[in-house]
Structures are given as C-alpha cells and as structure tokens.
Amino acid sequence: MKEDGSNGDGSDGHDLPFAAELWEACDRLRGSVESAEYKHLVLGLVFLKYISDSFERRRAVLEAGTRDQNSDVFTEDDEERGEVLEDRDEYISENVFWVPKKGRWDALLTAANQPDIGQRIDAALEEIEKANEEQLRGVLPRTYARAPLASQKMGELVTTIAKVGFGDDEDRARDILGRTYEYFIKRFAASEGHRGGEFYTPRSVTRLLVEMLEPYEGRVLDPACGSCGLFIQSADFVKSHGGKARQITVYGQENNQATWRIGRMNLAIHALAGDIRLGDSLLNDQHPGLKADFVLANPPFNEKKWGAEQVASDARWKFGTPPDSNANFAWIQHFIHHLAPDGRAGFVMSNGSLTSNQSGEGKIREAIVRDDLVDCIVVCPGQLFFTTQIPVSLWFLDRNKQSRSERDRRGEVLFIDARQMGQKISRTQIEFTEAEIQRISATYHAWRGTNELDYESENGFCASVDLEEVEKHSFALSPGRYVGAPDSEEDESEFEEKMARLVERLAGELAESERRTVEVRQALETVGYEI
C-alpha cells in the first residue's frame, strides 16, 4: 500500500481517507443548494487548487535552480531571479499551466472572508483561461459571483479545499488529486440520483468495458463522454500494461455544456489531451469523418423524442431508421458508423435493446446481427448505476472478426450471463469485484483467442453460438436464452427492465406529489392556515 493509503491500482478516492473527509466538509457547506449546481462550484475550485499547486511546485524548482550554479537558470541578481520566476515559458515548457498573480490560490485564500470572494474566483478563473487559452478555452466555470451560495459559505469552501495537501512530487500529486476528483464526481452523481448517471459511469463498469476492449493504441471515441471517465480508464489501462497514455488519441462529444466542462477539467487533471466537442451527437455529429479504432460509450438509456425526424435520411442508418420513441438503435448505429475497418466497440445498453421488436427495432437488430458485427453480449445485474434499477447489458462489436492477432470468429457470438455477479456497496447499489471483472474479460479473450486460456462454454455463464442459432431465437440477444438458463428465465431481462421502469416512474411521481404537498402547506401557512 502506498503512503497515501491507496493500493496503487488507479482506483478512485474511496481509499484516500482525506477524500471522504473533504467531501463531508464540502457537503456540510452546501445548505439548500441543489447538488447538480453545487458540483460545478466544488469541482471548479478543486481544479483551481490543483493547477495552482502545480504552478507553485514548478516555481519552487525554478527558485532552487536560480540559486544553483550548475543550473541553466542560475543568477545572483534578485531582479533577474524574479523575471525567471515569472517567465511563462518556464512553466508551459514543463506542461504546467501558467497561473497569473491574481489567479493564484494564496491570493484567493487571503480574500476568503471578503464579501466579493465570488467575483474574485470568477476573475481568477478568467485570468487562468486567458493565459492557457489553447487548453482551457471555454472550460472553466465563471459562475461563482451569481451562485446561490452566501459569500461566507463560499469563503469557507475555499478554506476547506485549501486544507488538502498533495505533496511535492508532481506525479504523485496528480494521481492523488485525480482520484480525489473522481471520488467527488462519483459522490455528486450518487447524490443527484438518476440524473447523476448522465455524467458518471460507475468505475467497475468502465473497468470491465476497457478490460474487454483493450484499447492499447489508436483512436478512441466516446460520443456521450460525460465526465470523460472512459478515456481516463483507457489511459490507465495503457499505462498498466507498460505503455504511454499518448499511445491513444481521444475524441469525445458531450451535449451538456456544464458536464462538458467537468470532462475537460478531468482530462487536464490527469494530464490527458483530447478533442472533446460540445453538441448532440445524434443530431449534430461533431466528428463526422472520424473512423475510430475503438468506440467506448455509455449513452443515455431509452431516450424518447430525441429528434429522429431531423436526421431521418442520415447515412448512419444503414441498418434501418431508428424510431423517435427510443434512441437505443440510433446510438448503436452511430457507433458502428464511426468504426474503422478493423475497429471494435464496447458500450452500455439497456436490456430492452436485446429483445425489443417495437417500432422496427427488431428489424434493425436483425440486420446488425446478419452483418456479423455482434461479437459479444454481457448481461449485467441490476443496481450497477446510481438509484436506477434498470438492468443493463454490455455490447461488443467487431468489424473484422478474423484479424491477424485473433482466431477467426466469423458467424459466432459469445454470450455471457453475469446477472448473479456483483457485491453490495450500499443499500441501492452493487459493483463488480476485481475477480469478476477478470473472469468475464478473460473468458472473452479466451474465446477471441487473444490470451493463453482455452475457451470452454460453461452452463449458466457463457456460450459460443452461431448465427443460425441466434436466428432460431428471432435474433433476440438475451444471454439467458443461450447459456443454459431455465426456460422461466429466458425473458427475465425484459421483465426486469419493465418492472424497474415502473418502480422508477412511481418513485418520481411520489417525489413530485411530496413536493406539491409541501408547496400547498407553505402557501396555506402564508395566509394563516396550518394543516
């Protein structure tokens, strides 16, 4: 175990005691501010603290160099020393953000008790963005002056985040802060409930996707990239196998501007560069000509009224026009469209996509299967995502099932049933264990012929099936139909999803009813009635 309390496996901040303490302290200051809004204030300040700390570390190195006769920047003149310390190029050349004097953390900390602290933070972020426009243009949130948080609370938030120390080593500091940042993203997603899943994919899911897809090098696309967690996990995967993060080039798109900012900041904290664009991928594809080696994604589940009529004649719909009632097969075809001739995709989908025949979805799925693009389907347990019970599946597509480094798998599909896996981490959520991630991914790679294991089908867990067998099941892709599950479980995934949707809808309606009740009570109290 490392001295910071981590296991050295690139995990998020749950193993950093101070991360939990910092979260609790920040959460106490939130008051009545909505979590969805508050997260941008906290994460913006965490990012500001990080780049300011990095700047000060580099400044200390330069300071020492100006006093070392063997250094290129040695000088005995105090004025020249000051010029070296304020030379922007000395920082940029070492991949350190240049922080102007007004943007430095110490200046904000000194002014934390001032009533205009919100304006000062906005000004600091503006100065930093101008000084690093190429990397940070449009990224930093400047909403502190108008935030629904009292200046006293804002100052306390600055003081709270200032207590975090990350040490003198840049790599170690980036690792710790990167995991702290991810921990905060995860906690905010949990506190936001269903909406939180729009910008954060649980770590065990990203780990499984990346371990199965193995993006060692090449172009990686995520058209629904949220906070960019899949890119960070991909880079961690490359580094864990002795490579460099620069072996992959990342391309992303995110429709929510605030989430897009979080993603860009998250990449910067992890020292990753990427072409991350803003916009609706289905209606306004910002990477139209890109052919990616890997597509990794967790798009919105079962999105209705997504604007299908606006792109009805789009070239992406090779396998059939997706219905406006559900965007699942729009996303799937979007992923396929962006795959290079030897490209592969791994993505999350609701289980309804495995069996649905509504609005032509069955015909689209059939066409995709007949084109021999489906490589593997993993059906997952429910409760993997925050507060939503909808069970999901992982789809893996391959444009070339006879690549040189693999065995010829043309005409075959691997089905894995992982519904009985996962361990409980809270009352409402489970996660895959490391052993389960390795078991599933090793099974897939044995079947592909890319590891040293011999693949064998296992009753109730995995089965290799030819396309003729899939056709006999009307091109339904539920693993339970193929791995030896009892007949009564064949349509369990579809039932689970319908039931989960009903429960989720009921929970929303009860919450809305409770909100309206509170409003009525308050209105009556204002005119002198109590109930």
pLDDT tens digit string along 236-252?
899 888 888 889 999 99
CB 384 within 8 A of CB 425: no
User: What is the structure's pLDDT at 495?
Assistant: 58
Query: Poorest-confidence range of 116-120, 221-225, 245-249?
Result: 245-249
In the chain, the largest separation of any two C-alpha atoms, in whole Å, equals 84
User: What is the structure's pLDDT at 503?
Assistant: 60
Q: How far is CA 524 from the centre of its chain?
A: 44
Place of tokens 């893996």: 396
**Could you give the percent of the chain with pLDDT greater than 70?**
84
Structure tokens, 482: 């193929």
Give the residues across from 297 on adjacent strands. 347
User: What is the structure's pLDDT at 527?
Assistant: 62
Structure tokens, 36: 């969805």
User: What is the structure's pLDDT at 6?
Assistant: 32
Give the residues across from 393 on adjacent strands. 349, 379
Which residue would you say has higher pLDDT here, 133 or 191? Answer: 133
Please say if the pLDDT value at position 526 is more than 60: yes
Mean pLDDT in residue range 184-201: 65
Distance CA 203, CA 431 (A): 8
Distance CA 463, CA 465 (A): 6
Please say if the pLDDT value at position 192 is more than 70: no
* pLDDT range class, residue 489, cuts 50, 70, 90: very low
What is the pLDDT of the chain when averaged over all its residues?
Answer: 85
Q: Count other Cβ atoms within 10 Å, centred on residue 60.
A: 12
Query: Poorest-confidence range of 32-36, 104-108, 196-200, 216-220?
Result: 196-200
Half-sphere CA count of 430, side-chain side, radius 13 A: 18
Mean pLDDT in residue range 271-287: 92
Structure tokens, 205: 């899911």
Distance CA 318, CA 108 (A): 55
User: What is the structure's pLDDT at 5?
Assistant: 31
Taking the CA atoms of residue 150, residue 151, residue 156 and residue 161 in that order, the dihedral angle to the nearest 10 degrees is 100
Which strand (E) or helix (H) includes residue 221?
strand 218-222
Please say if the pLDDT value at position 399 is more than 80: yes
**Could you give the percent of the chain with pLDDT greater than 90?**
54
337-384 residue pLDDT tens: 999 999 999 999 999 999 999 999 999 999 999 999 999 999 998 888
CB 205 within 8 A of CB 429: no
Which residues have CB under 8 Å from 527's CB, separation 6+? none
User: What is the structure's pLDDT at 1?
Assistant: 27
User: What is the structure's pLDDT at 320?
Assistant: 96
Distance CA 287, CA 276 (A): 10
CB 390 within 8 A of CB 372: no
**DSSP helix/strand/coil, 531:** coil
292-311 per-residue burial string, b: 16 or more CB within 10 A, e: under 16: bbbbbbbbbbbbeebebeeb
Mean pLDDT in residue range 86-98: 90
Distance CA 204, CA 376 (A): 18
Pairing of strands 248-254, 274-278: parallel
Which residues have CB under 8 Å from 529's CB, separation 6+? none
* pLDDT range class, residue 517, cuts 50, 70, 90: confident
Query: Poorest-confidence range of 15-29, 90-104, 217-231, 336-350?
Result: 15-29
Which residue would you say has higher pLDDT here, 237 or 169? Answer: 237
Which segments of the chain belong to CATH 3.40.50.150? Answer: 192-495
CATH value of 192-495 in 3.40.50.150, 3.30.565.10, 3.30.70.2700, 3.30.360.10? 3.40.50.150
Give the residues across from 18 on adjacent strands. none
* pLDDT range class, residue 32, cuts 50, 70, 90: confident
User: What is the structure's pLDDT at 139?
Assistant: 87
Mean pLDDT in residue range 111-127: 94
From the list 8, 338, 348, 328, the residue with the least C-alpha distance to 206 is 348
* DSSP-assigned letters across all residues of 10-76: ---GGG-HHHHHHHHHHHHHHTTS-HHHHHHHHHHHHHHHHHHHHHHHHHHHHHHHHT-TTSTT--S
pTM of this prediction?
0.81
User: What is the structure's pLDDT at 14?
Assistant: 52
CB 345 within 8 A of CB 397: yes
User: What is the structure's pLDDT at 196?
Assistant: 45
User: What is the structure's pLDDT at 511?
Assistant: 63
Please say if the pLDDT value at position 492 is more than 70: no
Which residues have CB under 8 Å from 71's CB, separation 6+? 64, 65
User: What is the structure's pLDDT at 4?
Assistant: 30
Please say if the pLDDT value at position 264 is more than 80: yes
Please say if the pLDDT value at position 98 is more than 80: yes
* pLDDT range class, residue 128, cuts 50, 70, 90: very high
* DSSP-assigned letters across all residues of 365-405: HHHHHHTT-EEEEEE--S--SSS----EEEEEEES-TT-TT
Query: Poorest-confidence range of 124-133, 174-183, 404-413, 505-514?
Result: 505-514
CB 413 within 8 A of CB 375: yes
* pLDDT range class, residue 30, cuts 50, 70, 90: confident
**In this structure, what are the phi and psi dihedrals at residue 435, rounded to the nearest 5 degrees?**
-65, -40
Please say if the pLDDT value at position 449 is more than 50: yes
Please say if the pLDDT value at position 117 is more than 90: yes
Distance CA 342, CA 291 (A): 10
User: What is the structure's pLDDT at 382?
Assistant: 85
Which segments of the chain belong to CATH 1.20.1260.30? Answer: 13-188
Strand ranges, E, within 126-169:
none
39-83 residue pLDDT tens: 888 888 888 888 888 899 999 999 999 999 999 999 999 999 999
**In this structure, what are the phi and psi dihedrals at residue 400, rounded to the nearest 5 degrees?**
-140, 95
CB 482 within 8 A of CB 376: no
Distance CA 16, CA 7 (A): 10
SS (H, E, C) 333-373: HHHHHCEEEEEEEEEEEECHHHHCCHHHHHHHHHHHHHCCC
Q: Which residue type sits at 460?
A: G
User: What is the structure's pLDDT at 41?
Assistant: 86
User: What is the structure's pLDDT at 7?
Assistant: 35
Question: Which class is 13-188 in CATH?
Answer: mainly alpha
Please say if the pLDDT value at position 13 is more than 50: no
Query: Poorest-confidence range of 19-23, 179-183, 292-296, 314-318?
Result: 179-183
Cα separations in angstroms, 302 against 72, 277, 324, 497, 513: 60, 23, 10, 11, 25
User: What is the structure's pLDDT at 229?
Assistant: 87
Which residue would you say has higher pLDDT here, 459 or 177? Answer: 459
Question: Please, what is the Cα angle at 421 between 416 and 426, to 5 degrees?
Answer: 145
* pLDDT range class, residue 231, cuts 50, 70, 90: very high
Distance CA 514, CA 29 (A): 25
